[in-house]
Amino acid sequence: MTTKTALITGASRGLGRALAGALARDGWSLVVDARDGAALAAAAPPGATAIAGDVADPAHRAALAGAVAAAGGLDLLVNNAGTLGTVPLPRLADQPLDDLAAAFATNAIAPLALVQAVLPALRERGGAVLNITSDAAVEGYPGWGGYGAAKAALEQLSRVLAAEEPGLAVWWADPGEMNTAMLRDAGEDAAAAPDPAEAAAALLRLVAERRPSGRYRAGDLR
């Protein structure tokens, strides 16, 4: 039986780290990335191919696609890497446009670029794409306009990808609030939020059960 392979971005902490650990325990082969090489090396499960870099960098994405090819195929792409953009979170009236462009580059364009890079491998195995989104993509929270707009773009890209690639499972999933550095950076009380492992366990049900393509909330999957 062929070992299943997953590519997970943003795997050095938070939800990405939790997903990588859970899949490794289930016997998956992993390619993982994060910007911080030292943190990635410390977090990567034993045997995982860890490649440090920025998903907004085309050369780094090419390296990830090369690792997928070396692994012999791909069953799951998890686009988890993301950025808040400007912090403290600004009102749209004060949103620096260069920061907004960078947020779109990381949160929407890079996930699509990775899909394009590994799509032949996913098609060959009838694989799946799990794009991590946020309730900020569908709600009007003051201060969250830039981040939310980029995640809304990711959701629409996911929706169209699901329509165009019926042979794949395409999920865009809101993990809910989690105790993460990103939530702390946003000025929220991260300590009161659930551990990312809870969301990871819920989202992995999508993978195990191969639910239909669509938008999911981790809280509805537990």
CB 96 within 8 A of CB 84: no
Spatial separation of the C-alpha atoms in residues 205 and 66, rounded to whole Å:
28
Residue 70, domain extent: 5-221
**What pLDDT was estimated at residue 44?**
98
Q: What is the CATH number of the domain that holds 35?
A: 3.40.50.720
Confidence class for position 2, pLDDT limits 50, 70, 90: confident
For position 71, what pLDDT does the model report? 96
Q: What pLDDT shows up at residue 138?
A: 98
By annotation, the residues acting in catalysis are: 147
The domain total for the chain is 1
Whole-angstrom CA distances from 213 to 92, 118, 207 are: 32, 18, 11
What's the mean pLDDT in 148-165?
98
What mean pLDDT do residues 111-117 have? 98
pLDDT of residue 54: 98
Number of neighbouring beta carbons within 10 Å of residue 24 = 18
73-90 pLDDT, tens per residue? 999 999 999 999 999 999
Q: Please write the tens of the pLDDT for every residue from 22-49.
A: 999 999 999 999 999 999 999 999 999 9
Mean pLDDT across the chain, nearest whole number? 97
Q: Look at residue 189 and tell me whether its pLDDT is greater than 70.
A: yes
Calculate mean pLDDT across residues 116-131.
98
In Å, what is the CA distance from 110 to each residue of 17, 71, 98, 131, 146? Answer: 19, 21, 16, 11, 16
- Please report the pLDDT score of residue 1 as a whole number: 59
Query: Does the pLDDT at position 222 exceed 90?
Result: no
